[in-house]
């Protein structure tokens, strides 16, 4: 049985090429306005998510950026260009890392970007190396959430900013009820398809961040603003190009495509949440 790390690597090795072909370089949700009702082109929605996050976190400038779970370099290259900064991206997938390097060269950013295969729970960087640590939808893959936030804190420069966006489940601390068995079953299915060990609630992440020593912590739930993303993904998965791509990209990718409705259902039930956390060191 492959380890969780190997499963994640294999999942993204197999599916990233198809995702790029159908969706482009950004492997994350799109932003559809605060109420989730704005109609917009899907790639624009993904860029809008980055811009809205930067606005929400009040990022004025950055010189050394770390993108944790960088995919094929979508956010890393966007941020490097926007802030005229140096960017480093890490991923478990050699396929993603190589593609990110190629995309950086093509964009003329090869001299100030680095992409490498590395484990976010044991980052190969010195303490206090980056003034912006960016993690957009990779935290859900982390088997040790505490260790992950600890590592992000360790590599962040004093005064630097941490922007963390991740899939969560709904809050469960009183007065909220605990997760029902039906909710747990739906989560288990999502974990299995997307190679996730488990997810936690946003208040739990906030408590971990406080314990690590992060300062000026802010959180937000943008579930409503991003939920339409899954409807759009499902629509795009039934085009001839997508179906052909799926057939050639292997069972794990096919299974993920067939299971897109699970995330849609999770959002509709209020179980899946899109959690944001911003903090400084």
Residue 101: predicted pLDDT: 98
Q: Residues for the chain: how many in total? A: 281
Q: Out of 34-48, 55-69, 160-174, which region has the weakest mean confidence (pLDDT)? A: 34-48
Residue 125: predicted pLDDT: 98
Residue 14 has pLDDT above 70, yes or no: yes
pLDDT digits (tens, 9 = 90+) for 249-275: 666 666 666 667 788 899 999 999 999
pLDDT band for position 243 (cuts 50, 70, 90):
low
For 60, phi then psi, to 5°, come to -90, -40
Helix (H) or strand (E) holding 111, with range, is none
CATH number for the region 4-27+40-170+178-280 comes to: 3.40.50.150
Spell out the residues 6+ positions from residue 93 whose beta carbon is closer than 8 angstroms to its own: 8, 9, 12, 13, 16, 117
Residue 42: predicted pLDDT: 85
Cis peptide upstream of residue 151 (ω within 30 degrees of 0): no
Sign of CA dihedral 108, 29, 54, 52: positive
Please state the rounded mean pLDDT for residues 84-92. Answer: 98
* Residues 38-42: contacts with CB under 8 Å, at least 24 apart: 42/229, 42/232, 42/236
Spell out the residues 6+ positions from residue 198 whose beta carbon is closer than 8 angstroms to its own: 187, 191
Query: pTM score, two decimals?
Result: 0.92
pLDDT digits (tens, 9 = 90+) for 167-222: 999 999 999 999 999 999 999 999 998 899 999 999 999 999 999 999 999 999 99
Rg (CA), the chain: 18
Nearest to 130 by CA among 163, 105, 104, 103: 163
pLDDT digits (tens, 9 = 90+) for 117-148: 999 999 999 999 999 999 999 999 999 999 99
pLDDT band for position 35 (cuts 50, 70, 90):
very high
């Amino acid at each position: 049985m492959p380890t969780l790390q190997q499963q994640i690597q294999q999942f993204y090795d197999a599916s990233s090429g198809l995702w790029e072909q159908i969706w482009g370089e950004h492997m994350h949700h799109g932003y559809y306005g605060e109420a989730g009702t704005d109609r917009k082109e899907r790639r624009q929605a993904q860029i809008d998510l980055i811009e809205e996050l930067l606005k929400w976190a009040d990022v004025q400038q950055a010189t050394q950026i770390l993108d944790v779970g960088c995919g094929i370099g979508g956010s890393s290259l966007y941020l490097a260009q926007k802030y005229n900064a140096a960017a480093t991206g890490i991923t478990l997938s050699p396929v993603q890392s190589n593609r990110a390097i190629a995309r950086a060269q093509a964009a003329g950013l090869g001299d100030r970007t680095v992409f490498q295969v590395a484990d976010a729970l044991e980052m190969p960087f010195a303490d206090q190396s980056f003034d912006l640590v960016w993690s957009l939808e990779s935290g859900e893959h982390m088997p040790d959430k505490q260790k992950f936030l600890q590592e992000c804190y360790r590599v962040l420069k004093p005064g630097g900013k941490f922007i963390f966006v991740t899939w969560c489940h709904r809050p469960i601390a009183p007065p909220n009820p605990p997760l029902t068995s039906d909710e747990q079953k739906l989560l288990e299915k999502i974990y299995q398809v997307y190679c996730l060990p488990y997810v936690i609630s946003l208040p739990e992440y906030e408590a971990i961040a406080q314990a690590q020593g992060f300062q000026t912590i802010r959180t937000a739930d943008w579930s409503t603003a991003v939920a339409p993303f899954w409807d759009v993904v499902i629509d795009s998965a039934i085009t001839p190009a997508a179906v052909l791509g799926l057939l050639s990209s292997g069972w794990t990718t096919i299974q993920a495509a067939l299971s897109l409705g699970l995330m849609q259902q999770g959002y509709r039930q209020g179980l899946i949440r899109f959690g944001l956390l911003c903090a400084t060191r």
